[in-house]
Structure 1
């Protein structure tokens, strides 16, 4: 029985997406798979303790640790990465998202891994420049190279494509803005989910002028498993439940039972820019990772909409309505 079990490695196992992928693997496949959870030294994998997984320690910037982690592995879910919309993080973003992916691709090639499912992002894909949703083939724009996170995720995909050219089977999952309650109660919420709660509590009086594409965390995990089983080599799959202007999102949150939201004013461009600068200044003074930044506010003024048709047609995805996700987030 042990020899027939597929061995699966999940990088970023203690993170928001990685831990949800592990939960879904254990739920759907049980003891037919053996899950190896890659965590960095210093991270806390305690919330994975109730799951039948093997914890291994390593780092994307330590090639030897990745070679050890991939030994005997059939499938790799590459969920590790850094999200930061700040030019101050450009070097670190390149290190983790690009060099780290290159190191993992090399380890997969060396050990003959059957398939690498790469957690990418809609940020790696081009945008339409209008309210028309982009698709998987929309060209990456010149201005996007000036957004450090977007460029790093785009280049990360290039490392995956390099792996394909060298014989590795790679498929890309490109989630929109992810939010929702993790299945594992020990996993912390991400910043977007916390922002939804603050809007619900009436703490955010301004909304940006653009729009985003959102998706529930449980759907993101389901898309990873579907990409493993059904995805075409080299294909991207945009994973999103729907596209909403910030005005629409704030209104939806305000309509939820018990909401203290009483309306928000659309921020003028100079206010968005000032908020981004203030966020970066606060981060510099406090030593904390910034949430509101100059780059994030520039993007918040655009309509970053994406088409999910390919994920529905080829992966069989059925997305949880945004209203359900928002309701669940504020109910706890």
Structure 2
């Protein structure tokens, strides 16, 4: 039995489909039936038999931060894919991120140890990989610096990784993947999916910051291959290409046949905007449109190397332009789809 947490998120949904293709017996954690409909939508991008595939999954209603609800989920489990996470760059969400990302992972680890699980695959992030000090490519050897001005998300993802490494010390084999910005179909109202909807609707602005990007199918492929291999107690950066946000926005606009963004936003402009946005959020009590950390990342230049995974297992990444074309097609298709009942 394979247990998947975060199965109703971007990585988890695509992972579930590919595990089912391998005829695996799967149990997936969920919190609401509405989220399962999103998984069915993702499945529909792969097959016309999405509903039948969904029914093969043993859906288990639980909260990863609640021990009593999670204990039964580990009965008979041999492998765990831990994809669940709280992603936010809003400082107000820090306590909740600690609860989900660190405390929730600690619970997963404790139950995995008690259940004598064979192996855990954890979906980390490049946010928990150290920065480059000399402008060189960032590798798995770069150490995360706790004294840097890290975002709450970065802090909690690093804390979660520490819990996963604890599992390896307690006899459970682990692998950690650290993906860059993940591009994939099915969740266009949140996360990286919003980039596609914003560009489609006429995004006018861009920045020239650089980071690593990767397709969701490559992330899932790497996870499954690592879990089915003898590789253990290692972590791997998953980045297909290092691209500027300008390049990404332009590629998406081209894929849609839309006008490219024309206004280059400078660092001083985003610095003013995030501060104004923060003040307005205090008055409106709504989430700020831009945070200090998202503003900073929009202009920072961080380049990553994925040579380690290429040397460890047979693996090749899909080009980002190819990923963008496919996801753009799925987005257009989603606009004409009747919502799943």
Residues 311-320 or 68-77, more deviating: 311-320
- Aligned equivalents of 1:43, 1:17: Cα separation in 2: 17
1:84 to 88, 100, 117: 88
Q: After superposition, where does 1:25-174 map in structure 2 within 5 Å? A: 25-27=19-21, 29-30=22-23, 33-41=24-32, 44-48=35-39, 50=51, 51=54, 52-129=56-133, 131-144=135-148, 146-174=150-178
Unmatched 5+ residue regions in structure 1?
1-6
- Aligned equivalents of 1:198, 1:47: Cα separation in 2: 20
Matched-pair contact (CA < 8 Å) for 2:189–2:197: no
Residues 218-227 or 245-254, more deviating: 245-254
Sort the Cα spacing of 1:103 and 1:47 in 2 relative to 1 into closer, same or farther, 3 A.
same
- Say what the alpha-carbon RMSD is for the aligned residues: 2.3
Q: CA deviation at 1:113?
A: 0.5
Residues 136-145 or 148-157, more deviating: 136-145
Residues 291-300 or 256-265, more deviating: 256-265
2:3 is matched with which residue? Answer: 9
Q: After superposition, where does 1:198-213 map in structure 2 within 5 Å? A: 198-205=198-205, 207-213=206-212
Deviations 1:229-260 (A, max 9, x none): 12622211111110012233334344446121
1:3 is matched with which residue? Answer: none
Matched-pair contact (CA < 8 Å) for 1:127–1:305: no
Matched-pair contact (CA < 8 Å) for 1:14–1:43: no
2:339 is matched with which residue? Answer: none
Matched-pair contact (CA < 8 Å) for 1:254–1:263: no
Matched-pair contact (CA < 8 Å) for 2:277–2:289: yes
SS in structure 2 at match of 1:44? helix
Matched-pair contact (CA < 8 Å) for 1:231–1:314: no
2:337 is matched with which residue? Answer: none
Matched-pair contact (CA < 8 Å) for 2:175–2:231: yes
Deviations 1:274-308 (A, max 9, x none): 23234445656666655631111112221122111
Matched, 1:24 2:18: yes
Matched-pair contact (CA < 8 Å) for 2:30–2:62: yes
- Aligned equivalents of 1:238, 1:322: Cα separation in 2: 16
Sort the Cα spacing of 1:271 and 1:154 in 2 relative to 1 into closer, same or farther, 3 A.
same
Q: CA deviation at 1:200?
A: 4.8
1:175 is matched with which residue? Answer: 179
With normalisation by structure 2, the TM-score equals 0.85
Q: After superposition, where does 1:231-250 map in structure 2 within 5 Å? A: 232-250=231-249
Matched-pair contact (CA < 8 Å) for 2:80–2:120: yes
Deviations 1:173-217 (A, max 9, x none): 1111011224xxxx5554322213423553232x23421111111
1:327 is matched with which residue? Answer: 325
With normalisation by structure 1, the TM-score equals 0.87
Matched-pair contact (CA < 8 Å) for 1:191–1:291: no
2:227 is matched with which residue? Answer: 228
Sort the Cα spacing of 1:258 and 1:41 in 2 relative to 1 into closer, same or farther, 3 A.
closer
2:43 is matched with which residue? Answer: none
Sort the Cα spacing of 1:222 and 1:280 in 2 relative to 1 into closer, same or farther, 3 A.
farther
Matched-pair contact (CA < 8 Å) for 1:16–1:188: no
